[in-house]
Amino acid sequence: MNFLVTGGAGFIGSHVCERLLHSGHAVWAFDDLNNFYDPQLKRRNLREIQSLAKPFKFEQGDLTDRAALDELFGRVKFDQVIHLAARAGVRPSLEEPALYQRVNVEGTVNVLEAARNNDVKKITIASSSSVYGVNAKVPFSESDPIFSAISPYAASKLACEALGHVYHHIYGLDVVMLRFFTVYGPRQRPDLAIHKFARLIHAGKPIPVFGDGSTARDYTYITDIVDGVMACTQKEYGYEIFNLGESQTVKLSRLIELIEVALGKKANLDRLPPQPGDVPITFADVSKARAKLGYHPRVKIEQGIPLFVDWFLKSNR
């Protein structure tokens, strides 16, 4: 099959491209290589994919450029789209809320329109655990009410889920929305906690710790996330939302301990007040994904952190 992966040069996207190529598909990656973090890191991801010598093409472009998407869809007959491109991160969205709505919401409409107008019937779209907001019920289930977003990023992902339903209901597209829970692993974005902490501890610099260390996240290893994405490509679902998480919560204080052990260095903590937009806990109920996708997360945090640190040390020699 011919797959388009938007955000294909990024952390999750590059791993999805590799898995698709190893599974025998042809892949086009669409990415604007923006400077949210160093574009050279994305170029390195692309070089690693290109080194596989598989049917892979990179297309540089912006989601908000409707003409660029129309040209690409007109030139290549895609069988499926995996839409991962977005402006990411809760905290940066507090600074530039309009940018997040433009790229994430308008960009998603442009991808859905290009698919609709070119008879691409199946699209898998990245959502986020942030849509749950401050959810009193744990673990978080896809059927929970989600009308209490507390960041522009979360609001943009809620809008994308609603748009996905519209394009299924009105235009007959097969749409799966995937709520990712704190993904980590090789190639993780440098602004995310695990990568940032490893870099600062390794350099002997203090790490910023917001709150008392009791906030907890459902950290999900990249290979488990890619397993879930690939399962969505195997058959039609109409319109479905799935949580993809490890279904295991880890407190911030415990996470820091695991990174310290893997690096063999103690962290110097810079205690700071809690951040606006941060939620106290994320915890995925993955029973629906288990039942309908055959999703079975395998990599616990005690295995995943050493795997990440091993990649980090090798890539920073």
Residues noted as catalytic: 153
Would you call 17 exposed, middle or buried from its count of C-beta atoms within 10 A (0-12, 13-18, 19+)?
buried
**Residue 134: both structure tokens together:** 């401050």
Q: Distance (Å, rounded) from C-alpha 213 to C-alpha 188?
A: 22
Instruction: Give which of 83, 73, 93 is closest to 5, Cα–Cα.
Output: 83
Task: Kindly give the residue spans of alpha helices, DSSP state H, lying in the chain.
Answer: 11-22, 39-50, 66-75, 90-95, 97-100, 107-117, 152-171, 193-202, 222-232, 252-263, 287-293, 301-315
In three-state secondary structure terms, 103 is: helix
Contact of 146 with 241, CB cutoff 8 Å: no
